[in-house]
Amino acid sequence: MSGGDRKRLEDTTRYHPAEVEARVFSEWLEGGYFHPAAEGTPEENFSVAIPPPNVTGALHMGHALNGSMQDALVRMNRMRGRNTLWILGTDHAGIATQAVVEKDLRAEGRTRQELGREAFVERVWRWKEEYGSRIVEQYKRLGASCDYERERFTLDEGYVKAVYRVFKQLYDKGYIYRDFYMVNWDPGSRSAISDLEVENREVEDALYSIDYPVEGSERVLTVATVRPETMLADTAVAVNPEDERHADLVGRHCLLPLVGRRLPIVADEHVDPEFGTGALKITPGHDPNDFEIGRKHGLEEIVVIGPDGRLTEQAGRFAGLTAAEAQRAVVAALREEGRLRAEEPYTHSVPFSHRSGERIEPLISLQWFCRMDELAQPAIAAAQRDEVRIVPGQWKRVYLDWMREIRPWCVSRQLWWGHRIPVWYCDACEETYVAEAAPERCGACGGELRQEEDVLDTWFSSAIWPFATLGWPDQTPELRAFYPTSFLTTAREILFLWVARMIMTGIEFPGAVPFRDVYVHSVIQARDGRRMSKSLGTGIDPLQEIDVHGADALRFGLLAMSSTQDVRFSDAKVQQGSDLANKLWNASRLVLLNVAEVEPAPRPVAVEDRWMLSRLERTIASVTGKLENYDFAHAVQEAYAFFWRDLCDWYLEIVKPRLYEREEEVSATLLHVLERVLALLHPTMPFVTEEIWSFHPARRGHLAVHPFPVADEGLFDEAAEAEVEAGIGLTQRLRAWRDLADVPAGSVLAAVLDGVSPPDFVGRLARFDIADAMAGAGPDPVASVGPVRVLPSADLDAEAVAGRLEARRRELDAEVERAERKLANRGFVAKAPAEVVEEERAKLTRYRSELEELS
RNA sequence: GGGCGCGUAGCUCAGUGGGAGAGCGCUCGCUUCACACGCGAGAGGUCGCUGGUUCGAAACCAGCCGCGCCCACCA
């Protein structure tokens, strides 16, 4: 260690992450450790594709948690010497990004329509160039060891090529088709969205009952609806075929109030005879159920609500009104005509757009769809055969249930920002061309071609992320070396939206599942248990946490609080991480500033050395196993407990005298232990461990590429563990005894030993001067703690000692009674495993003998 | 309507058949030469309720109460 380094270590009594992290990160980048050569096979390599954040996004707690988990495994495998690639990139996020830029435009008093498509898209690109790298920089703050030199974007030239190839192939297979169909229309983004982007919310509406007169009769059929304005698009009335009340009406017609259209009365079992009067108005153009019924009965499909959420020309005198205005107007008109029979409050669930938050307007429109059944089959089989392992296991069933019920996917979006659908139409002869590149002219008539206006759903391009980022469809070295990837971590909310689709496309295109494991992690909620969300104002900014506590602290905290169930964000866990970083720093100072100049090596001379080495190796085995099984919370908490309790509280305190004497054996052992602890913790706390490592005399290169420790079972030592644990137990009992007997903290009490001698450290750490029992002479002990007989002294308050003895006696009485009762139970003795009974007997013996000592 | 999960110390959470745990908070004592973001010692819980299985239940089973999430086309 240089003089400067020594001075810095001596002077810096607290770890300051802010002074370390940026410097250390740039060293890693300069080292090129995160940029592997495209060599080797996927089996021997390790690769992960990051869930691509939106280019519009800022790092939120979900990214931070997800990133901490991925980085832990990525770093561990890199340290194991595997060629490791963590693919980084961003998602163009069609709706979100377009919305952001449109908002900017509006602030300037302009619209995208005024600008025109080309100029608008140009403008979004400029926005992306300026702000799109923000989230990438934020991942660096977290310490994420992604390959920043291979950053990808879903609208990269190469990526677009992959998207078009996929579209074309699915079209050629007949999976992709265009159809007039019922879609979820989002008036907010003025686009169709998929079923998965819709969320249902409970809403209080009014339920209106409306009389529809039966043609050529005095009778009326009363229908109930929460959306009276859609009656303008009614094309039938349905009753249940079993419903005798209306049986004679089937085949006749109703007259639609306000409009006058003749509506056939049809029979359909979908109608619940128990609900209302048992008659259902059928609006195939604006209700998903009615759409199904309409197609079944060949009913006319009328659309009265347009893409802007306003009534169309089809709505006659109501044209131009918004849906809400139209509802009031229709209700008023019905009331005037005496057709409104009832209006009552009604709570039901209503679809809302997950993108814009607006209420979904179901309507029929011309869209592109992808049939999913065929793609789903092999993806179901892959999960069933555990070729893709979904952990925790309960999510496998959720995945399978959804896949088995999978429905066609509406892939077209009425946006400008995205992959423009690679379809060209000839207006002259109505030919359609699907191609990866624009055809020159119509092959049939030579006419001009016009490209489809719509773009693809953002998730269509994310669905091919793991292989499109590696250069597919070209057989690139990257694809050969790193596909399939090793695992995926994800929040469950995108299990269907993203994960399932990647599995389907992975099998269909490169021909292999895209990752071996899918780890579905928990959700970190706000401190009060609500969702963290920008709109609720409940979000906690990970960057601010990093500013205050450091990236290591946040990473530790997130991993420690994560588990299989959702948890509230815990400031205490982040603080625990911060405390741990500081403790690592200080414990390392103690070692590094005091050791002799020796090579690190396990050189045990005392039982506590063997104990420490045994505990270290066991911890390495256990923590490693937990990381490999995605049990991050227990992994980091176990590492914490080992380091803090075993290493700092006990081992360092025990060996301090030897360390201060510069004993070579303990110096070598301590350097060895420190090296392994730093390496073990590096995947979860990379900055502080790398920084400390820079002071370690054995350092040859960065810790980021230092070998990850492999547990040496040869150092496991049960006997040493038992002996030292007993010594620790005795030390604690002696300290407790002192405390409760009101002994001054600093005083050293005299004692003699009677029985098996404990490890040497006990007397020093408990502040007892323990001599071997001398035959005969000497004062009578005032108390016994295990084999230690406490001798009288000026620092001992007789009354306090007596009180302490009495308290201990009561404790032992209770224990003896409990054990006796248990052993008196014949069922226990007969049926419990022998070792359990034996253990109980041993305890009883111990308690009785201690009680005897006290009396 | 179906499915999944949760209810353990003041708070946030571990713990899946053999004597209730962690971190934070709280109390008491320590400027002990790595760290006061520290050290030592404590207090604090009839493990949501009721039954059952078992020699033994926080854990397994059933029912109930409370809470959360996902899926679902009943107006």
Q: Give per-residue pLDDT as tens, A537-556.
A: 888 999 999 999 999 999 99
Residue A417 and residue A94 in contact, taking contact as beta carbons nearer than 8 Å: yes
Span A62-79, average pLDDT? 97
For residue A232, CA distances in Å to A260, A302, A393 come to 10, 9, 49
At A244, the pLDDT band (50, 70, 90 cuts) reads confident
Nucleotide nearest to A524 (CA to C1'): B12
Span A87-94, average pLDDT? 93
Residue A272 and residue A279 in contact, taking contact as beta carbons nearer than 8 Å: no
* A676's tokens: 């392994």
pLDDT digits (tens, 9 = 90+) for A822-841: 888 888 888 888 888 998 89
To the nearest whole percent, how much of chain A has pLDDT over 90? 69
Q: Tell me, what's the pLDDT at A95?
A: 87
Q: Tell me, what's the pLDDT at A538?
A: 86
Between CA A846 and C1' B54 the distance (Å) reads 29
* Rounded-to-integer distance, Cα A5 and Cα A223, Å: 85
Nucleotide nearest to A223 (CA to C1'): B75
* A826's tokens: 């014949």
Helix orientation angle between A653-660 and A571-594, rounded to the nearest 10 degrees: 30
Nucleotide nearest to A395 (CA to C1'): B4
**CA closest to B75 C1', residue:** A225
Q: What SS3 state is found at A657?
A: helix
CA angle A209, A214, A215 (to 5 degrees): 145
Sequence-distant (6+) residues with CB within 8 A of A535 are A357
Candidate ranges A492-501, A583-592, A842-851; pick with highest mean pLDDT:
A583-592
Query: Please, what is the end-to-end C-alpha distance for chain A in angstroms?
Result: 58
**CA closest to B24 C1', residue:** A572
pLDDT digits (tens, 9 = 90+) for A113-166: 999 999 999 999 999 998 888 999 999 999 999 999 999 999 999 999 999 999
**CA closest to B3 C1', residue:** A398
Between CA A291 and C1' B73 the distance (Å) reads 9
Q: Tell me, what's the pLDDT at A817?
A: 86
Nucleotide nearest to A593 (CA to C1'): B34
Between CA A839 and C1' B19 the distance (Å) reads 11
pLDDT digits (tens, 9 = 90+) for A491-527: 888 999 999 999 999 999 999 999 999 999 999 999 9
- Centre a 10 Å sphere on the Cβ of residue A464 and count the other Cβ atoms it contains: 25
Residue A235 has pLDDT above 90, yes or no: yes
Nucleotide nearest to A641 (CA to C1'): B22
Nucleotide nearest to A207 (CA to C1'): B75
Q: What SS3 state is found at A224?
A: strand
Residue A490 and residue A388 in contact, taking contact as beta carbons nearer than 8 Å: no
Q: Tell me, what's the pLDDT at A813?
A: 87
CA angle A540, A541, A544 (to 5 degrees): 125
Between CA A402 and C1' B1 the distance (Å) reads 17
Q: Tell me, what's the pLDDT at A534?
A: 78
**CA closest to B35 C1', residue:** A586
Nucleotide nearest to A16 (CA to C1'): B37
Residue A368: phi and psi, rounded to 5, are -95, 135
Comparing A241-255, A409-423, A628-642, the range with the smallest average pLDDT is A241-255
Q: Tell me, what's the pLDDT at A776?
A: 62
- Centre a 10 Å sphere on the Cβ of residue A798 and count the other Cβ atoms it contains: 10
pTM: 0.94
Between CA A821 and C1' B59 the distance (Å) reads 23
Residue A278 has pLDDT above 70, yes or no: yes
* Rounded-to-integer distance, Cα A562 and Cα A65, Å: 8
Question: Which of A650, A670, A679 lies closest to A603, judged by CA?
Answer: A670
Q: Tell me, what's the pLDDT at A140?
A: 97
Residue A90 and residue A154 in contact, taking contact as beta carbons nearer than 8 Å: yes
Between CA A564 and C1' B48 the distance (Å) reads 22
Residue A266 and residue A282 in contact, taking contact as beta carbons nearer than 8 Å: yes
* Rounded-to-integer distance, Cα A530 and Cα A523, Å: 11
Nucleotide nearest to A270 (CA to C1'): B74
Residue A675 and residue A632 in contact, taking contact as beta carbons nearer than 8 Å: no
* Rounded-to-integer distance, Cα A70 and Cα A146, Å: 10
Contacts 24+ apart (CB under 8 A), A168-176: A168/A422, A168/A434, A168/A435, A168/A436, A169/A509, A170/A370, A171/A434, A172/A434, A173/A374, A174/A371, A175/A370, A175/A371, A175/A372, A175/A374, A175/A375, A176/A368, A176/A369, A176/A370, A176/A371, A176/A411
Residue A3: phi and psi, rounded to 5, are -60, -40
**CA closest to B5 C1', residue:** A565
**CA closest to B74 C1', residue:** A272
Between CA A462 and C1' B68 the distance (Å) reads 30
Nucleotide nearest to A650 (CA to C1'): B39
The per-residue pLDDT of chain A, averaged, comes to: 92
**CA closest to B38 C1', residue:** A583
Between CA A383 and C1' B1 the distance (Å) reads 28
* Rounded-to-integer distance, Cα A51 and Cα A745, Å: 56
At A808, the pLDDT band (50, 70, 90 cuts) reads confident
Nucleotide nearest to A731 (CA to C1'): B40
Nucleotide nearest to A227 (CA to C1'): B75
ipTM of the complex: 0.96
Span A88-116, average pLDDT? 91
* A274's tokens: 């128990």
**Residues in a beta bridge with A311:** A305
DSSP of A507-563: HHTTSS-SEEEEEEE--EEPTTSSPP-TTTT----HHHHHHHH-HHHHHHHHHHH--
* Rounded-to-integer distance, Cα A727 and Cα A725, Å: 5
Sequence-distant (6+) residues with CB within 8 A of A67 are A50, A139, A142, A144
Between CA A715 and C1' B35 the distance (Å) reads 29
**CA closest to B17 C1', residue:** A832
Span A298-311, average pLDDT? 90
Please, which positions of strand B sit below 7 A from a protein CB?
3-6, 11-15, 18-19, 22-24, 28-32, 34-42, 54-56, 68-75
Question: Which of A31, A19, A38, A127 lies closest to A87, judged by CA?
Answer: A38
Nucleotide nearest to A287 (CA to C1'): B73
Between CA A405 and C1' B26 the distance (Å) reads 54
**CA closest to B12 C1', residue:** A570
Q: Tell me, what's the pLDDT at A774?
A: 66
Q: Is the peptide bond before A759 cis (omega within 30 degrees of 0)?
A: no
pLDDT digits (tens, 9 = 90+) for A608-622: 999 999 999 999 999
Residue A357 has pLDDT above 90, yes or no: no
Between CA A675 and C1' B6 the distance (Å) reads 41
Between CA A738 and C1' B29 the distance (Å) reads 11
Q: Tell me, what's the pLDDT at A843?
A: 87
Residue A471 has pLDDT above 70, yes or no: yes
Residue A212 and residue A254 in contact, taking contact as beta carbons nearer than 8 Å: yes
Q: Tell me, what's the pLDDT at A441?
A: 87
Between CA A201 and C1' B24 the distance (Å) reads 37
Q: Tell me, what's the pLDDT at A233?
A: 92
At A347, the pLDDT band (50, 70, 90 cuts) reads confident
- Centre a 10 Å sphere on the Cβ of residue A51 and count the other Cβ atoms it contains: 21
A714: left (phi over 0), alpha (psi -120 to 50) or beta: alpha
Candidate ranges A251-255, A647-651, A756-760; pick with highest mean pLDDT:
A647-651
**CA closest to B33 C1', residue:** A660
What is the β-pairing status of strands A279-282 and A236-239? Answer: antiparallel
Between CA A397 and C1' B69 the distance (Å) reads 16
Between CA A377 and C1' B75 the distance (Å) reads 35
Between CA A249 and C1' B43 the distance (Å) reads 79
Q: Tell me, what's the pLDDT at A131?
A: 86
Q: Tell me, what's the pLDDT at A800?
A: 86
The residue type found at A69 is M
Residue positions counted in chain A: 855
